[in-house]
Chains A and B, each alone.
Chain A
Amino acid sequence: MKPAEIAKPLGVFVVVILVILAGTAVLGAVSGGSGTSDGANVRGQSPAQFQPGQVNPDVDPEEGEITVDSPEGEKKILVDNRHGNLYDRDDLEPVVEALVEAGHEVNFAPDVDSGDGFGSTGGYNATLQEYDAVLVINPTEGFTEAQRNGLQTYTENDGRVAVLGEPTQVGVSGSGLLASLSTISFGANDLTSQYGAHMGAEALFNVDDSANDNSFKGVNAVPDGTDSLTEGVDTVTFDNPGYIVTTGSDDAEVLYTAADGTKTLDSRREGTYITAVRTDNMVFVADSDFVDQSEVYDADNEVFVSNMLNFLVSGDKPDDVPETTGENSSDGGF
C-alpha cells in the first residue's frame, strides 16, 4: 500500500475526530454546562455548634410530689377571692389535692364559682376566725385598713398567711386591631408593708440557661439562709417573678434570692434580688405561678410548695381570733 493510500483515510479519520471534538468544545463553551458535578464534591456539613450536646437543652424532669403533714386536727385553709385575685382555680388542683389528701379543708371565699356566697354576708374577721390559714394569690385590689388590722391580729396569734404576687405588667386582651392593653399591678403592698416587705417595681429576667427554666423570664432562685420553708430545696423556678424590697423596722427574713446574673427587665439593673420573705407567720413570694399545675413540679418547686403548705397548716390560732366585735360594717367583709 502506497503512503498516499494510507494518508487519505488517515486524514479523513483525523478530520472527522477534530470536527466532532471542535463541535463538542463549541457546544460546551456556549452552553456553559453544569461545571463540576456537585455530587462529587458533596460534603456533609456538621458544624460543631450544631451537635446535640451543644444544642439540646437540659430539660428538668417534672417529678416529685407535694406532701403535706397532718398535724393535730383538720386545718381549714381559705383561698382569697375578694381582692381581684388573678388565678385559675384549675391550676391550683395539685395544691388542693395535697391538702385534702392530708385531711385538711380548702375553701375559696367568696366562692364565685359555686355562687353560694360563702362569707359574703359575714364580716371579714368573722370569716378569718373560721380558718387556720389564708392563701392570697395575685391580688390586684388593695386590702382595707380593717382587713389589714384583722390579718395583723390573725398572724400575731399564729394564724398563717401566704401572699403570692406578681410585679406590675401590661396585659393584652383581644387581638389584632382590637387588642387593648391594660396595666396590672400587685394590689397588696399596703398589706405586705405591714410585714416589712414591698413588691419591687419591675419583673426580673435571666438569659443564662443554667439560671432559668427554658425561658429568660423563668428565673431560678436559691435559698438564702435556713428555714423550714427552704428545707430540702436546691433550686426553685419562678415563671414570672418580681422582686421584694424589705422595708422599715420589721425584719423580714429572706427565704430565696434570684440566681446570679438576674436583672430587672426594664432598667437592666443586675443585683441580688429577693424573691421570697417570711415575717413571722406571713410568707410573701414575688411570683404566683409556681403553685400552678404546669410549674409546681419544675425544679424543686414541689418541695417549696410542700414546705409552704406545711407552714400554712402548722399554725395554732385560737378560734376567737381575730375578734369580731362591731366589725361587720367597717372591715369590708368577704
Chain B
Amino acid sequence: MAASSDSTSATTVLYVVVVVVAVLVATVLAPVVFNATAGSGDSDESSVAVITLRGGTSDANVAAISEDLREARNNDSIEAVVMRIDSPGGGVTSSEEFYLAMNRTAAEMPVVTYVEGYAASGGYFGIVPSDRIYVKPSSLVGSIGVIATLPSTLEAQNAQVRNALRTGPDKQLQTIDGVREQLELLQNAFVGTVMTHRGDELELSREEVSNAATYRGTEAVENGFADDIGTLESAIAHAAEEAEGIEGDEYDVYYKDPPSTGIGIILTDADVESTNGSVVYVDRNEEDTGPEFVPPVRYYAVYGIPKSFVDGEVITNETG
C-alpha cells in the first residue's frame, strides 16, 4: 500500500515536471509561431492595397495615410499600393510628411496613383514618387508653389513684438523679406522634389514648373505631370503587373478605408496615439503649444481659395 502510494506520488511529480518543462519550452517557441502566423493577413493570396485620400493634406489626414502606408509595407501579403487621391494640398509640413511616407513606400514596392479629382500642390507633392500616375480628363494636377498667410496687421504685430521683453532682435519678429526667404526655401524643396522624381518625364523646365500652373488630366499627360489616362482599375492592374510577388491575375484588392477627417487641419481634442512594434506614435494637438500663442505666419502648399480671404488675412504669394 505504501509502495503504491509512493509510486503514485512519483508519477504525479513526473507529470508536473513534464508539464512545467513543456510550458517553458512552448513559451520559448510561442513568439516564433506567433510571428510566423501574425501579419500574414486574412488571406494567403498576394494583394494590392488601395489607399484613399479625399481631402486636404492636413496633419490628421496625412498621419492616417502614413499609418496605412506603414501597414502596407509591413504586411507581407501586400505587394503593391494604389493611391487614390482627391486632394488640393494643405500645410507644407504635412505635405512633406505625405511625400516622405509615399517615397519610403515606393522604395519598397510599386506605388501607382489614380487622380480621382485633385492632386494639386501638396497633393501632388505626395504622389510625385509614384511609379505611374493615372488621370482622367477632369483631374487637376500641378500648382507647384507655396503661399504664406500672415496677419493683415503685420506692422502692428511687429510693433507689439518690439515692445515685448525679448532676448534678441529677431525673436518673434516677422519681416516680409524673411517670409519671402522662407517661401523660397520651401519652394526649393518642393520644386526640387518634383524635378527629382518627374524630371525625365516633364516637358517643362524647372522655371516653368515654378510658375505653379494647374493642368487638367489630358494636358498633364502631354506635359509629363501624369503618365496616362486611366481609371482606378487601370492603376490597380498596373500595380499588380509591376509587383514582384503577383503572378497574373492571382491577387486580391484590399480597399483601405479613407481617413474620416475632413479637409480641416484641426486635430481632435484628444491626442492620437498608436503603437507599432516598439515605436509609439503620439500626435499632439495644437493646444500643446499653449492657447496664447499661434504661429505668426503659416505656409501652405495648397490650391484653392484660401479661407484667409474671408478671415481678414492677406496673402503673400510666391509662385501661385
Contacts and interface: CB of A to CB of B under 8 A. Distances in A.
Contact of B33 (A24, A31, A34): A24
Given A21-B29, A214-B184, A12 B18 contact: yes
A27 B207 CA distance: 57
Contacts of B318: 215-216
B210 interface: yes
Given A16-B23, A17-B25, A177-B310, A32 B41 contact: yes
B183 to A, nearest CB: 7
B30 interface: yes
Contacts of B104: 43, 45
A33 interface: yes
B180 interface: yes
A90 to B, nearest CB: 10
A34 B30 contact: no
B310 A9 contact: no
Contacts of B293: none
Interface in B241-300: 275-279
A40 interface: yes
Contacts of A271: none
B136 to A, nearest CB: 28
B26 A215 contact: no
Contact of A49 (B19, B26, B195, B277): B195
A26 B189 CA distance: 48
Interface string A1-43: 0000000011011111100110011111101111111111111
Contact of A54 (B15, B21, B41, B188): B188
A201 to B, nearest CB: 20
A234 B311 CA distance: 43
Contacts of A176: 309-312
Interface string A171-207: 0100111010000000000000000000000000001
A39 B280 CA distance: 10
Interface in B183-235: 183-185, 188-189, 192-193, 195-196, 207, 210-211
B22 A13 contact: yes
A186 to B, nearest CB: 22
B174 to A, nearest CB: 13
B5 interface: no
Contact of A20 (B18, B21, B23, B319): B23
B21 to A, nearest CB: 7
B181 A59 contact: yes
A59 B182 CA distance: 11
A44 to B, nearest CB: 10
B76 interface: yes
Nearest to A218: B180
A27 to B, nearest CB: 7
B22 A207 contact: no
Nearest to A212: B184
Interface string B24-36: 0111011001111
Contacts, number: 159
B137 interface: no
Contacts of A41: 73-74
A59 B179 CA distance: 12
B38 A34 contact: yes
A330 B114 CA distance: 72
Given A49-B192, A207-B211, A208-B207, A29 B152 contact: no
B19 A25 contact: no
B156 to A, nearest CB: 14
Contacts of B93: none
A76 to B, nearest CB: 32
A195 B178 CA distance: 38
A214 B309 contact: no
A55 B319 contact: no
Interface residues of B, number: 62
A124 B99 CA distance: 64
Contact of B26 (A21, A45, A48, A50): A21
B176 interface: yes
Contacts of B279: 37-39, 42
Interface in B56-90: 70-71, 73-76
B262 to A, nearest CB: 23
Contact of B15 (A12, A36, A39, A48): A12
Nearest to B27: A20
Nearest to A22: B33
Nearest to B31: A24
A29 B276 contact: no
A216 B313 CA distance: 21
A20 B22 CA distance: 9
Contacts of B75: 35
A35 B67 CA distance: 13
Interface in A42-76: 42-43, 45, 47-50, 54-57, 59
Contacts of A15: 22
Interface of B: 14-15, 18-19, 21-23, 25-27, 29-30, 33-42, 70-71, 73-76, 100, 103-104, 152, 175-177, 180-181, 183-185, 188-189, 192-193, 195-196, 207, 210-211, 275-279, 309-314, 318-319
Given A28-B36, A49-B196, 18 more contacts: A9-B14, A12-B18, A12-B22, A17-B25, A17-B26, A17-B29, A25-B37, A29-B40, A32-B41, A32-B42, A34-B277, A35-B38, A38-B276, A38-B277, A47-B103, A49-B192, A216-B319, A294-B177
Interface of A: 9-10, 12-17, 20-21, 24-29, 31-43, 45, 47-50, 54-57, 59, 172, 175-177, 179, 207-209, 213-216, 218, 261, 294
29 contacts: A12-B22, A13-B21, A16-B19, A17-B25, A17-B26, A20-B26, A24-B26, A29-B37, A29-B38, A32-B39, A33-B38, A38-B70, A38-B74, A38-B276, A38-B279, A39-B278, A49-B196, A54-B192, A57-B188, A59-B181, A176-B309, A207-B211, A208-B207, A214-B184, A215-B180, A215-B184, A218-B180, A261-B207, A294-B176
